[in-house]
């Protein structure tokens, strides 16, 4: 939701986000604010906003445009783009890069899982992360083979 980076007027509240969830929306992201933040946090839909917002009478309950390019934060968002969020933030991946980024993310996740196991087992990060020691790559290849990853 493009709110022009202004959290003073709410992009949505608990009722609207609940309705979007019931309509099958996968998640909600706004560069504005939400009313009812605590209520929205209890819903099973991922929802990201700047901060709690202004009174509900300033909430716009009707979309101005759907499936058109918007700005969200400082990112342009086009129909078909992939929006991914977690507790660390939200990122917009242009549609034409999504498969390439997904492949790289799978590889990076496997490597970071390997590194995490190594660190928890007491290994130093020197040469491990980043993998500047050739042995790290040998160890990682063996780890992947052993785990089928």
pLDDT tens profile 4-45: 888 877 888 899 999 999 999 999 999 988 888 889 999 999
The angle, 0 to 180 degrees and rounded to 10, between the axes of the packed helices 98-120 and 134-147 is 100
Residue 75 has pLDDT above 90, yes or no: no
Which uninterrupted H or E stretch holds 63?
none
Predicted local distance difference test score (pLDDT) of residue 57: 47
Asked if 96 and 104 count as a contact pair (C-beta separation under 8 A), the reply is: no
**Predicted local confidence at residue 88, as pLDDT:** 79
For residue 145, give every residue at least 6 positions away whose Cβ sits within 8 Å of its Cβ, in sequence order, or none.
none
Give the model's confidence band at 62: pLDDT under 50 very low, under 70 low, under 90 confident, else very high.
low
- Cα dihedral 92, 96, 102, 107 sign: negative
Q: How many CB atoms lie within 10 A of CB 29?
A: 19
Q: Which residues are 12's β-sheet partners?
A: 34
pTM: 0.68
User: DSSP secondary structure string, 131-144?
Assistant: --SHHHHHHHHHHH
The dihedral built from the CA positions of residue 131, 134, 140 and 143, taken in this order, carries a sign that is negative
């Amino acid at each position: 939701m493009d709110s022009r980076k202004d959290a003073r007027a709410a992009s949505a509240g608990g009722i609207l986000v609940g309705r979007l969830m019931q309509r099958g929306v996968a998640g909600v992201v706004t560069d504005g604010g939400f009313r009812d933040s605590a209520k929205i946090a209890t819903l099973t839909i991922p929802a990201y906003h700047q901060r709690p917002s202004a009174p509900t009478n300033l909430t716009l309950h009707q979309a101005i445009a759907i499936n058109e390019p918007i700005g969200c934060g400082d990112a342009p968002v086009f129909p078909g783009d992939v929006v991914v969020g977690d507790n660390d933030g939200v990122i917009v991946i242009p549609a034409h890069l999504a498969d390439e980024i997904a492949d790289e993310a799978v590889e990076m996740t496997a490597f970071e899982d390997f590194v995490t196991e190594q660190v928890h087992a007491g290994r130093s990060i020197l040469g491990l992360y980043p993998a500047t020691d050739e042995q790290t790559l040998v160890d990682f290849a063996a780890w992947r083979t052993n785990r089928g990853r």
